Homo-oligomer: A and B are copies of this chain.
Amino acid sequence: MADETSVFKALADPTRRQILQDLRGGEMSAGDIAGRFTISAPSISRHLGVLKGAGLIAERRDANRIYYSLVEERLAVCVGRFLSVVCPEQVVMRRRRGAAASDRSSTR
């Protein structure tokens, strides 16, 4: 389910975007993440499931805790590629190692 639409659907919810921003500072446990919001832990858990399903976060288990971390490249590649197609004049994707061939540069 790691298609482009799953990423954009995941980004459509403000809570999920906030979670991604919060994870920018490093991995966090599910409880720590939930602690930053007023909605219930199960609701946060499902948001995390959506983000994970989109490939935007990864999980690591330690004892009975689950730590979530950002998968930056997934976000950058998927959204960045779209931006590059629709408004290439305004956004520049930084080169990545093994960048997928959707590069519209002349040398190919």
Whether the pair B107, A21 counts as a contact (CB closer than 8 A) is: no
Chain B CB within 8 A of A39 CB: yes
How many residues on the A side are at the interface (Cβ–Cβ under 8 A)? 41
| Cβ of A36 under 8 Å from chain B | yes
Query: Measured between alpha carbons, how far is A60 from B79 in the docked complex, in Å?
Result: 28
- CB of A48 within 8 Å of the partner chain: no
A93 touches B90 (CB 8 A): yes
Nearest CB to that of A5 among chain B residues?
B14
Residues of A within 8 A of B (CB): 4-5, 8-9, 11-12, 14-15, 17-18, 20-21, 24, 36-39, 70, 72-73, 75-76, 79-80, 82-83, 85-87, 89-94, 96, 104-108
